[in-house]
Structure formats: C-alpha cells, structure tokens
Amino acid sequence: MYTCGPTVYDYAHIGNFRAFLFEDLLKRWLEYHGYKVTHVMNLTDVDDKTIKGSQKQKIRLEEYTAHYTNAFYEDIKALNIKLADHYPKATSHIAEMVALVKTLIQKGYAYKSQDGSIYYAIGKFRDYGKLSHIKVAELQVGARVKTDEYTKEEAQDFALWKAWTREDGDVFWETELGKGRPGWHIECSAMSMRYLGETFDIHCGGVDNMFPHHENEIAQSESATGKIFVNYWLHNEHLLVEGRKMAKKFGNFYTLRDLLGKDYEPIAIRYLLLSTHYRAQLNFTFEALDAAGAAVERLRSFVRRLLYAQGNGSGGKVVELLSKVQEGFGGAMDDDLNVSVALAALFDFVREVNVLLEAGEVSRTEANDIDALMKRFDGVLGVIGEVAPQDVLSKEAEELIEKREKARKAKDWATADALRMRLSEMGVVLEDTAQGVRWRLVKKA
C-alpha cells in the first residue's frame, strides 16, 4: 500500500490528517482481517513549495524540511497513527527517478525541451486520463506545464525533470539528465515502485491528488513498465471546516498543533476525523469535536465498567450481543469502510451491555469476553487505549452515593441496598461509619 505523504514545507493541517487517518483505518482493517500490509508513505522534501519555503527563511533545504519532517512524526504519534514500514524521502531517491526518466525517453514518452527540462508527452499515452476521466483536448497536446500543481483544464505535457534555474538556488543535482531537480509526480512513481514493485495493490490519497498527481503517476509508471501500476485506488473526500473550504483567508485553517494548543485531546481529533465515511465530505466543527471527545469517553468508561463486573451471568444474552456487534461492525467496515455505520453498531452494543451491567447480570467471564472484543475493535479504531481502574469517583458514583444517603435518611432500606449493590458493581465499596459514609475503590479481582 502506497499513500502519498506530506510535503514537508509546513505543519500538516487537519485536512491532511483526514487522509492519513483514513489510510490508517484502512490498513488496520486489512490487518484485522489477517492481511500483512507493507505500507510506504513518501516524504516530499524537494518540490516547488519546499524550495520556496527554505529560501524565504534563508536556510538550506535539508534543514528546512527536517524541521517539518520531525513535526510530522510527532503529529502522527499524537494521533495514534501506526507507522508505515518505509518513509522514503525524495532527495534520497534521485537515482531511481533519473533511471525512470531515462526509460521514458528511450521508449519515446518523454522529450527534452529547449531549456533542458524533460517533459512527459501525454499525447503518447493512450490511457491518459483514465483515472480522473478527463478528456485531453487536442489543442493542449504539446503545450507544457512546468509547475507541479495545475487544474484539469490545464492538462498538458508535464515536467519530469526541471532544468536548474536561478530561482532554484543551491538546490540541484548533476545527473545524466543534466543539472536540475525532479518534478513532484515522478517522485511518487519512482519511490512506490522501488519499495513495492512495478505493480502493487493499493494507492491512496486525497481526492485533490487524483489530478494531476495520480493521473501522472499512472502515465509515467505504466508507459515505463508496460504493466498495470496499481490494482486499487482509494481517494478520500475533502474536509470542510464550519461548513466551508478550509483556507487561511477564511480564518478556519487549522493544523493539529493549533487544536492541541486549544487543549483538545488528540484522540478526540482522531475520532472525529475518522468517524465519517472516507468518500463523504467531512464537516469539521468544534461542536462535533466536543461530541467526539464525549464518544471516546463513553467507550472508555464502558471498558472501565467491565473491570468491575461480578454478576451471575446473562444466560446467553452476552453471547448473542457479541455475535450481533461483530456482524454489524464487521459488515459495515467490509462495505467500503463504512465506519459511521460500524460505530453506530458499536454504540448500540455498548448501550445494550450497559443495561445488563446495571442489572448485575454480566459475569466475570462474560466481561472478559466483551473486553477482548473491545480490544480487537480498538485495534482498528485506536481510540480507547489502556483503561485503568478509577482512583477518583465518577460523577455517576457520586450521585448514587448521594441518592443512597437520602434513601437511608428516609429509612428506605430496599432502595439504599440496591444502590449499594450498584455501586459495588462499579467497584465502589461503601462503609457506613459514625462520621458518615466512606468509600473506597476496589481493583478488578
């Protein structure tokens, strides 16, 4: 699996992380099914944007990109994104790119322009446009675009190798192709094939990468090898923030660091960004972020509650619920990663088991089975983590203790006893002393 990585010219924003989290979910779901996934994510550390950025700060390109590369690793760790097997840097794979461009020249798909740059001739590749379904107008064939990013209407021969110009400063390589640097698109073709072979299974990225980036990757790779480049392409939809496109000029542009600076929990951000189906637009709002935090907390307190279950057994009800949720969650995830439906099934399960827990019907063994399944699901979701027994009273327990005190004062012993039982199932043991009620928490037996 190859996923287009960050261009390390700035801190990654939450739209980038939506893509990385969708890819993380996909990988974890494949692993849940027992697939062994080899995951490669490139780091674009030389392109138009990184060169411009380093020049603005008047530091060397390596120094500039190293800062944002380290920041990227910190961010994915905070979001509990599993590490890829390889993070190839473009600047460490110039030889592979040069070799690929040479093959394209030999096969007649690439040519040198007057300024020494090398272009891919899109008119030579019959399948050009097959991913993004664009029709290449005849007029545009032969016209050239040198920048890395452009729109569908500007589809033209694109740069594989950019001859050195004054603006590039000290960023260049002396190669058989001349003095210059690679274009962005050839980087991904060269690095993906270097680690995964000429044909590999899955390639992902944001929908904005479909054209021109992925279209060009296909053209370069398939015309060089004569083989299918990728078996499955998956693209995630855009992220909106408060209902509109995220942009600095709208004041709704957020990096992960911006949100952590406002004291949001990274796992709540993770939950929010992965809980919408990847092919649907996701509208990021702070209200939804609060709700995501609450959803994570609900899952954690459910798992914590399981630690204290000491009931007599549900008489088969737990077994039934376990099989129902596996079907509901698994069926939805198998259906093109329909995570929102999967989460709905999970929360139904939590609600139904909570009813049994409240009635004291869940035995120790049943609780362990539920816990094991929650761990398996969390291997996919990555939001619950290790849940420790409580050392402070939950709000719920506090309220129950208060209610019990009232019941005792009213000499309603039946209610008081029932409340004591409920608290004990939550791991809260009460002692009535002359000074009033005392509580202590017991750990799982």
CB nearer to Zn ion: pick between 40 and 426? 40
Of 1, 4, 204, 230, which one interacts with Zn ion (CB under 5 A)? 4
Which of these segments, 3-11, 142-150, 276-284, 406-414, binds Zn ion (CB under 5 A)? 3-11
CB of 213 to Zn ion, least distance (A): 6
Which of these segments, 2-10, 120-128, 288-296, 419-427, binds Zn ion (CB under 5 A)? 2-10
CB of 171 to Zn ion, least distance (A): 19
CB nearer to Zn ion: pick between 4 and 353? 4
CB nearer to Zn ion: pick between 188 and 289? 188
The site map against Zn ion for 177-196 (x = CB under 5 A) is: -----------x--------
CB of 214 to Zn ion, least distance (A): 7
CB of 65 to Zn ion, least distance (A): 16
CB nearer to Zn ion: pick between 42 and 156? 42
CB nearer to Zn ion: pick between 188 and 272? 188
CB of 152 to Zn ion, least distance (A): 18
CB of 248 to Zn ion, least distance (A): 23
Question: CB–CB of 50/5 below 8 Å?
Answer: no
Distance CA 255, CA 427 (A): 40
CB of 172 to Zn ion, least distance (A): 22
CB of 216 to Zn ion, least distance (A): 9
Number of residues this chain uses to bind Zn ion (CB under 5 A): 2
CB nearer to Zn ion: pick between 206 and 382? 206
CB nearer to Zn ion: pick between 4 and 309? 4
The site map against Zn ion for 130-169 (x = CB under 5 A) is: ----------------------------------------
CB nearer to Zn ion: pick between 180 and 212? 212
CB nearer to Zn ion: pick between 160 and 343? 160
Pairing of strands 118-120, 110-112: antiparallel
Binding flag, residue 218, Zn ion (CB under 5 A): no
| Burial tier of 150 (Cβ tally within 10 Å: 0-12, 13-18, 19+) | middle
CB of 4 to Zn ion, least distance (A): 3
Binding flag, residue 299, Zn ion (CB under 5 A): no
Hey, what amino acid is at 194? R
Which of these segments, 1-9, 88-96, 162-170, 273-281, binds Zn ion (CB under 5 A)? 1-9
Binding flag, residue 353, Zn ion (CB under 5 A): no
Within 65-104, which residues bind Zn ion (CB under 5 A)?
none
Residues that bind Zn ion (CB under 5 A): 4, 188
